[in-house]
Structure 1
Amino acid sequence: MAESAVNFLLDKLEDLIDEKLHHFGGVEKEIKYIRNELASMRVFLRGADAGEEMNQTVKDWVKQLIDLAHYIEDVLDEYMFQLAQQQQQQEEEEEEEEEEEKEQQRQHQLLVFLQGIVFSFFQKVTLSIKQLIGRHPIFPQILEIKATVDEISQRLQRFNFGRLDQGPNSNFASDTWYDLRGDSLLLEEADLVGIDKPKKEIIEFLVKGSPRLGVLLVVGMGGVGKTSLVKQAFDDRRVKVYFNIHIWISVSQSFKLDELLKDMMRQLCEESKEPVPQRLDGMKETELKLALKEFLKQKRYVIVLDDMWSKFDWDSIRHIFIDCNCKSRIIVTTRSDDIAASCNNYFVQTYRLQPLCEKESWTLFCKKTFWSVDENNCPPQLEKLSRSIVRKCGGLPLAIVTVGGVLSTKQRTLTEWEMFDRSLGGELQNDDRLRSVMKILSLSYNDLPYHLKSGFLCLSIFPEDESIETMRLIRIWMAEGFIQRRQGKTLEEVGESYLYELVNRSLIQVTETTYDGRIKTCRVHDLIRKIILLKAKDQNFGTIIDGDDDEQDIIMVGKITRRLSIHNSCQEVAPEQNFTHLRSLFMFRVDTLSNIYRNGAFFSSLKLLKVLDLRVAPLEEFPEEFTNFFHLRYLSLRKTMVKEIPNSIKKLQNLETLDLKQTYVSELPIGILDLHKLRHLLVYRYNFGPHVVFHHQGFKAPSGIGNLESLQKLCYIDVSTGSDLITTLGRLVQLRRLGIHKLKREDGVNLCSSMENMNCLQSLSISAIEEGEILDLQFLSSPPPFLRTLLLKGRLEKLPHWIPSLHNLCLMDLRWSKMKDDPLEALKCLPQLKRLNLMHAYDGEQLCFQSGGFQKLENLGLERLERLRMVTIEEAALPQLENLYISGCEMLENAPLGIEHLNELKMLLFLEMPNEFKGRLRPRGNDHHRIEHIPILLIL
């Protein structure tokens, strides 16, 4: 975190030097000096970030440097805010003077014009002098910062802190703590819960399958039981008999390669009863690798590499394992998924170990707490508290076993257990036995590269058990400046790679994926969240005010708060608190705004704010104070009752995301055209109700919206005003997602012309102005090559000719198309299509899914096809179909013919179908035998 703060500041200094201060030589020189000094300290900070423990002197030094980095950021942002205000004031004064001169001198236009030029020249010169004087206050601040940097640098040299990344240093005293991971090797199978199935699968991988060298990756978060599980399989009699050589290597986070190789050689010699090479201790890494490679030839071995941390660690040793078709096996336990990428030459399988389910967690807890395998042995008066404690362990065996061990020594009284349940977060930090759990989990945080740590700590803002939308998170990262630029990639793409890296490191859990396999929502394990909160508090990353939590983080008067997340109630925030340093403000589940927010005084002080997320807040009007947030990059008013956006929004020159989804805003002012950094513009509202409706609400935009050339996402823009607006959309060549609303038939040609330029487009939604309006989209000669989602809502005389060429299309949704011709013929060969929905889309009586078609389709919906009588599925069609949904097809006579061939079908849902049709599906019905193989059948 320390290095992250300084790196973020260095980027800002570079921007300031390049763009803002080139004409102020003195200040530029001092800022360059500060930048260079901070850059020289980064090596030390990298070690400080990686180390879990450090002595108080170093802690104070690191904290001082973080505070300085934040202070410099405040000074620079305040300075840029003043520049923006002065520029705005200048523009307003010039406009007023121009209008006044025109009114007073209307009869002498030429003379007034010439006088105006002269007057304006001297006015600007005078104003520039005033601005120069106004900027002088930054000079002493920069000099003060330079002196502080010198002092910190001298302290670094005086105490000889050295480079932390070169190994242990006497200045970084680590408290002794008991590493519970070693106990995993001592557990008996009877002590474990829920391992029967995974143990069986691991043993089958070891003793069966391909004769090639096999690598099994057992992946999971720290404490989930990887080592315990693998040890039980490793010690199984069948494994002992099958392999000639069995060795177990504990890798750990800070292993030394030469020592690991020597340990492996000693174990191999012992297993094969051969003498250890006399020169072993003096052998270099290359010699050791060659010797091991030669030793393992033509032997059937099983080798466990326990606790491998990264692809780099695996790459350092993988070449000693050669494939001799001897059925040898390697098991790697790891927290990271990325090792699989380096196993291309092997027979590879990944087993992701998940936390225990609720029942298994309870069984394990009872074993360790009450020394009983009987789940009912928990005293009745303690059961509710016990289950609460178990839930907080999140299915993590390490935590359950340790917590259970601690509770087994406590008195079995309500008071004792209630206090333990309430203060579990503090107990995990302070109790020596529980502290080891947090240490083990913290290793994953310490192993993060610095550019991921800030983004990871950003998860602290979300409430417990919150389902986090990944795009929301990535946009917040962008606004905070946590995403580094990479050549050839957008910030959104880099942010998504950050997210996947956190998932691969088992620090984030995926809760929902999109149709094409991307992460849609995620969450954080409860204990990992405890670590995030502790780290965030220690680094003064942010403050959480939770109106429902007795352990909330209280804001102290005088404390500098840079990020504030308010949960459930905003009544706890003291009105006298100074929030002038606040960079980000979030509200979750806040039903009522206190007077401090309603009267505008609170928001008026937030002049350095970058992120404002008031999703679902009880806000009815757009506060004018919001338009004064010059640094604001992210503004979300999603699901509020705001109806109108003022034209003064044009003052938010740095805004990147404007999220007005599910608000009542239906039109944007012309001032929106001044926001040239805008990347995500979301203004639409779905109309939910008992009946499917043709329209949802989009927004009307000024015709010049094509000038916002940084836009990545634009949804849903009302184009009913005509062709001029549609033509300007052709300038938005960076668009990834586009939603078109109320398209007229005659404007189809202009829309196709504009789309020819959108080569980056991935998602496209087009709806006609009314249900009967024809979508004429036949004029597109070169469709976006990376299009993954396509939704067309409106009449189609025929399917656009370019659709079969969309080789990356994953989702296709046709609504109110009313086509006469069967659309399946054109869609069947789309190679990546995974989801297809047809609603009011086909006016024929038969649909046929031909043999060999739709090879990757997983979800199919047939809705309100009023004249459809028969659906036929030929053999070898739809081989991957998992979910079939048929609704409102009142003329359909039978369940789809050939449905019995769909071996992967997991769910069949019928909704709003005639009683006669439903009768044929019942156990004694004519169609029941064809659908009885389907696990889930729902008739609603």
Structure 2
Amino acid sequence: MADAISQAVIGKLTEMIVQHAAGEAALVRNFNRDFQWLKKRLRTISGGLKYTDKLPTREDDIKEWLQNVRDVAWDAEDIVEECAVRPLYTRSATQSCICSPDELLFRYKMGKRIQEVKEAIDSITKDGKQLKLFRDLVPSGFEPPSSSSAWEARKGNRILPSYPVAIEPKIQHLISIIDESTVPVIAVVGMGGAGKTFLLQHLFDRIKERYELSIWLSISQSYSVQQLQCDLVSHMDLEVDDVSEDRAAELINADLQGKKYLIVLDDVWTSARGGNIIRNLGLSIGHESQCKLLVTTRNRDVCQNLGAKIYEMELLSEEESWQLFCFHAFPDYNQNLPPPYLEKVARHVEKQCDGLPLALKTIGASLSGCTDTRKWSSKLSQLKELELSQQKEVADPDYRIIEILRLSYDSLPSALKPCFSCLSFFHEDEIIDCEYLINLWIMEGFIIQRKDQWDIALGYLYQLANLCLLDVWEEWGLIKYCKIHDFLFDLAIGISKENRCAFAVEDDFTAVKRILLPKKAIDDVVTDPKKSSCPRSLRTLSLHNNPLTKIEANFLSPIRLLRVLDLSETKISSLPYCLGKLKLLKLLNLSSTKVEEVPICVRSLKSLVFLDLNLCRQLRRLPEWIGELKCLRHLNVKYCKDELRNHVPKGISELLSLRVLRSDDLRLSVEDDGLLKLDDAVKLTHLQELSLQLKHENELKSIEDGILRQLVEIRHLSIASRLSTESHLPENITALQDLETLNVKKFVVPSWVSILINLRQLILFYCICSDYPALETMPNLVELKIYGNTNCRELPKAFVKSSGFPKLRFLLIEDFPLLEELPDLEDGAMAVLEKFRLRECPKLKKVPEGLERLRRLKEFNYFDSGTDEFRETLSEGGQVRKKIKAKNPHVYFMR
């Protein structure tokens, strides 16, 4: 009945428009023509912005004109996307018919908006001509860059090595202070960007082995004591959930009593809060204690309140600055000196950075590979102009640094600029999951739509890292996490606010496109239905890590153009039904919330591409209607209730666009009971990630018959056996040519696994094995983990032969109760190994010879492993340990 009434009202309204607005009815008749014009013009405007981003933006009239261009581009893009998703929401052939009242009304509204955009473009054209800019706004024949001209191919991406200038003397000096000083708190003081954190990272890795407990905590300007306490106890065998801060401090203090520990508090800002931070966290360090607290800060008052011994962080000398700058500006600097015609300019550029490592690295990296004298001279002129402008007033040193770093941002390719500014959308000091960041870029439209857009985005990430605009961590050879320096974070915030394109915590939300709401804003805006809501044009809203329990409907209902909604780590258990009206929503993050089922309103989100339910501990199953989300490409249901593994709805097989199905090992059905079967999963031909647990012989038979050969795009595969008999994994899995990670559980170790030449990560979990295959021949293997072999007494000697495991960085051998001997390493074996972990191998008799040849080894872990004699040789002062340390002093031993 309600639908019939709605149709009648819409029909009557449309009839009135047609009858009484005959002069405007042409908007409906010309809809297709105008829509095609708008799509073409949107590409033209985007091409113009690629040029105008390079213009000097300090002129007020140019800044205003640029913002007008962006506003028009956003409006036009909104229209195009609303029209593009229209077919997903037409419920019948009648509705989609051009003659239907509903369709006529939609086209009339869109036509009106297109007309408004046309008028705005005419105004921009007029203003652009007056500024002599418009000729550059409409470049002829604008086309997006091809993948070959844009970035390296996916497998060619790599992180350039770091170059620690003048770091060793500082480390040694700090070690001597730690050894000789009776003061338990030592503070490294220096201006932002001077390398305080970089120095302590190297020091921490060097000395953490001396302590029973070693913990690193990052402190932001607006830190939460409760969150810091949670971060602290994550390294301890302690729970402080649902207790007050004072009670948590008591528990932490009691647990630390009698322990020798090292704790780093990185980037403490204010003296008032800094003075209380030790007590607030529950740390108790007396002068008689062997425990140490290391602090980095820009504020000397912090040191006084902590009673700390101060280590002054000096800036680099002229020669040290030159070395660091040249390393980043000239990648082949060690082999070839800078070209003579650039050296003079380079010296001037380096001098302007005043010995500040962060500025030297970012400016140098932005010029890397360039032999164009004009670009170098331009950079020098910009630095000199900046210096002159700041001489006119007493400038804040922090402001000067940010403005210097801004020159690196100005040098970015236009495609990378929104990607960088988007980093302001995360919290200060947050460790960012790179996969989520890339998905955010894609959902926001920063990456051009094409088949290889993920690889292009990954290339952007590597580019930002190599330009020293991001700190990154890799996992099995690919970037996994990243973090942004606080100065660069401030730069990203400033740029975003200028452009009204990302990040806003403002009293007035009307002018922004993307909002990150902290706690203080939530109480005032989100939960109070009387407060003003967010603007209709808002594209992204993040409430990540806030204590929300609900969102009022009137807050969400006006935001009809929202693309991204992040509610992760809130206490939300339900969502308002109006969420289903967000027709353009592409990314919904509900990870670590209290939802017990996927909210029914999600069913209406036909444009949804990314749905994250990771760590929803109370989620028991997925709904049967999940298959209606036809655009879904990424579904994460990892670490939910165990029941979910057994209740995977058959509707998932209808998600033909699905690329990532991230889960614990799924137990698929063998009955026609409405649940997913392996035969159904074969429809998902674009799937790149899949985890299965086989519990029936016919499922194994399906794999033997080659069913996985149809999933040709699989890159990450996990297969676990619950079969009653000893089972062999079929060799036809080798048909998966792009396979990068393989996790095999409780199967016979496959003899063919070494054929997978593109494999980066291999995990063998309690697999049956009489003899390991030639794993050492795998050319791209970065990470190898072998768990639980109850029969093995000795690993194959081939594992450690010369040139074996050429790219292996991480090796784990765990739960080998009979393992007595590791073969000696030949020269050249495991040449790039960084972490070697032996866990629960109690019968090991001796440390293998040749470990000292592993010059890149950073960690040797022998937890619950080895006989007394084995452990004695690796203890402080042990012969083997001294031998290894003599060749590689940076190795960290952990037992």
For the aligned pair, the TM-score class normalised by the smaller chain equals 0.5 to 0.7
Which residue is equivalent to 2:771? 822
Which residue is equivalent to 1:809? 759
Residue 491 of structure 2 corresponds to residue 531 of structure 1: yes
Contact conserved, 1:252 with 1:309, CA < 8 A, in 2?
Answer: no
Contact conserved, 2:667 with 2:692, CA < 8 A, in 1?
Answer: yes
CA distance in 1, matches of 2:537, 2:137: 33
Contact conserved, 1:640 with 1:662, CA < 8 A, in 2?
Answer: yes
Cα 1:475–1:307 change in 2 (3 A) is: closer
Which residue is equivalent to 1:338? none
Residue 606 of structure 2 corresponds to residue 606 of structure 1: no
Cα 1:128–1:154 change in 2 (3 A) is: same
1:62-83: per-residue Cα shift (whole Å, max 9, x none)?
Answer: 2223223333344555666777
Contact conserved, 1:61 with 1:152, CA < 8 A, in 2?
Answer: yes
CA distance in 2, matches of 1:312, 1:536: 28
Cα 1:126–1:778 change in 2 (3 A) is: closer
Which residue is equivalent to 2:648? 701
Q: Structure 2 matches for 1:566-645, cutoff 5 A?
A: 566-569=517-520, 570-573=522-525, 575-593=531-549, 597-621=550-574, 623-645=576-598
Letter matched to residue 771 of structure 2: D
Q: Structure 2 matches for 1:268-347, cutoff 5 A?
A: 313-314=370-371
1:401-428: per-residue Cα shift (whole Å, max 9, x none)?
Answer: 99xx99xx9xxxxxxxxxxxxxxxxx9x
Structure 1: 5+ residue stretches without partners: 1-21, 92-120, 167-192, 200-219, 256-305, 319-331, 336-397, 410-426, 546-553, 688-694
1:601-630: per-residue Cα shift (whole Å, max 9, x none)?
Answer: 323333221111112111223554433322
Q: 2:639 pairs with 685, 708, 724, which one? A: 685
Cα 1:909–1:45 change in 2 (3 A) is: closer
Residue 430 of structure 2 corresponds to residue 466 of structure 1: yes
CA distance in 1, matches of 2:854, 2:588: 47
Cα 1:896–1:745 change in 2 (3 A) is: farther
Q: Give 1:792 deviation, angstroms.
A: 1.0
Residue 862 of structure 2 aligns to a residue whose secondary structure is: strand
CA distance in 1, matches of 2:646, 2:319: 57
Cα 1:156–1:39 change in 2 (3 A) is: farther
Q: Give 1:536 deviation, angstroms.
A: 0.9
Contact conserved, 2:564 with 2:587, CA < 8 A, in 1?
Answer: yes
Q: Give 1:745 deviation, angstroms.
A: 4.5
Which residue is equivalent to 1:673? 627
Letter matched to residue 795 of structure 2: L
Residue 814 of structure 2 corresponds to residue 863 of structure 1: yes
Which residue is equivalent to 1:838? 786
Report which stretch shifted further, 651-660 or 640-649: 640-649
Letter matched to residue 814 of structure 1: L
1:561-620: per-residue Cα shift (whole Å, max 9, x none)?
Answer: 321112344224372234322211112331234xxx444332333322111111211122
Which residue is equivalent to 1:522? 482
Contact conserved, 2:595 with 2:616, CA < 8 A, in 1?
Answer: yes
Which residue is equivalent to 1:361? none
Contact conserved, 1:586 with 1:612, CA < 8 A, in 2?
Answer: yes
Cα 1:56–1:923 change in 2 (3 A) is: closer
CA distance in 1, matches of 2:630, 2:97: 28
Cα 1:656–1:874 change in 2 (3 A) is: same
Q: Give 1:453 deviation, angstroms.
A: 1.7
Cα 1:874–1:333 change in 2 (3 A) is: farther
Letter matched to residue 558 of structure 2: S
Q: 1:564 pairs with 515, 519, 528, which one? A: 515
CA distance in 2, matches of 1:750, 1:57: 67
Residue 449 of structure 2 corresponds to residue 485 of structure 1: yes
CA distance in 1, matches of 2:871, 2:346: 62
1:24-75: per-residue Cα shift (whole Å, max 9, x none)?
Answer: 6502333444556666666764443212334333333222232233333445
Which residue is equivalent to 2:104? 132
Contact conserved, 1:638 with 1:663, CA < 8 A, in 2?
Answer: yes
Q: Structure 2 matches for 1:720-731, cutoff 5 A?
A: 720-722=668-670, 725-731=677-683
Residue 66 of structure 2 corresponds to residue 62 of structure 1: yes
Cα 1:639–1:832 change in 2 (3 A) is: same
Residue 122 of structure 2 corresponds to residue 150 of structure 1: yes
1:512-539: per-residue Cα shift (whole Å, max 9, x none)?
Answer: 11122x2111122222222211111111
Q: Share of identical aligned residues, percent?
A: 24
Letter matched to residue 639 of structure 1: S
Contact conserved, 1:456 with 1:532, CA < 8 A, in 2?
Answer: yes
Cα 1:485–1:577 change in 2 (3 A) is: closer
Contact conserved, 2:622 with 2:644, CA < 8 A, in 1?
Answer: no
CA distance in 1, matches of 2:586, 2:808: 39
Residue 609 of structure 2 corresponds to residue 662 of structure 1: no
CA distance in 2, matches of 1:900, 1:253: 40
Contact conserved, 2:623 with 2:649, CA < 8 A, in 1?
Answer: yes
Q: 1:540 pairs with 500, 503, 511, which one? A: 500
Contact conserved, 2:694 with 2:721, CA < 8 A, in 1?
Answer: yes
Cα 1:869–1:32 change in 2 (3 A) is: closer
Cα 1:505–1:856 change in 2 (3 A) is: closer
Letter matched to residue 768 of structure 1: S
Q: Structure 2 matches for 1:91-110, cutoff 5 A?
A: none
Q: Give 1:497 deviation, angstroms.
A: 1.2
Q: Give 1:493 deviation, angstroms.
A: 0.9
Residue 314 of structure 1 aligns to a residue whose secondary structure is: coil
Contact conserved, 1:568 with 1:588, CA < 8 A, in 2?
Answer: no
Structure 2: 5+ residue stretches without partners: 1-25, 139-163, 171-194, 196-313, 327-332, 350-362
CA distance in 1, matches of 2:97, 2:377: 69
Contact conserved, 1:706 with 1:729, CA < 8 A, in 2?
Answer: yes
Residue 702 of structure 2 corresponds to residue 761 of structure 1: no
Contact conserved, 2:574 with 2:599, CA < 8 A, in 1?
Answer: no
Contact conserved, 2:609 with 2:633, CA < 8 A, in 1?
Answer: yes
Between Structure 1 and Structure 2, whose CA radius of gyration is higher?
Answer: 1
Q: Give 1:474 deviation, angstroms.
A: 0.5
TM-score if structure 2 supplies the norm length?
0.64
CA distance in 2, matches of 1:674, 1:435: 51
Contact conserved, 1:834 with 1:856, CA < 8 A, in 2?
Answer: yes
Q: Structure 2 matches for 1:174-189, cutoff 5 A?
A: none
TM-score if structure 1 supplies the norm length?
0.61
Q: Give 1:774 deviation, angstroms.
A: 4.4
Cα 1:472–1:333 change in 2 (3 A) is: farther
Contact conserved, 2:365 with 2:468, CA < 8 A, in 1?
Answer: no
Cα 1:736–1:32 change in 2 (3 A) is: closer
Residue 743 of structure 2 aligns to a residue whose secondary structure is: strand
Q: Give 1:150 deviation, angstroms.
A: 1.8
Q: Give 1:163 deviation, angstroms.
A: 5.1
Cα 1:931–1:505 change in 2 (3 A) is: closer
CA RMSD of aligned residues (A): 4.6
1:853-890: per-residue Cα shift (whole Å, max 9, x none)?
Answer: 43433322111112223322353444443322111123
1:639-673: per-residue Cα shift (whole Å, max 9, x none)?
Answer: 22222114553322211111111113342122111
CA distance in 1, matches of 2:85, 2:342: 60
Contact conserved, 2:780 with 2:807, CA < 8 A, in 1?
Answer: yes
Residue 476 of structure 1 aligns to a residue whose secondary structure is: helix
Residue 785 of structure 2 aligns to a residue whose secondary structure is: strand
Which residue is equivalent to 1:712? 659
Cα 1:493–1:903 change in 2 (3 A) is: closer
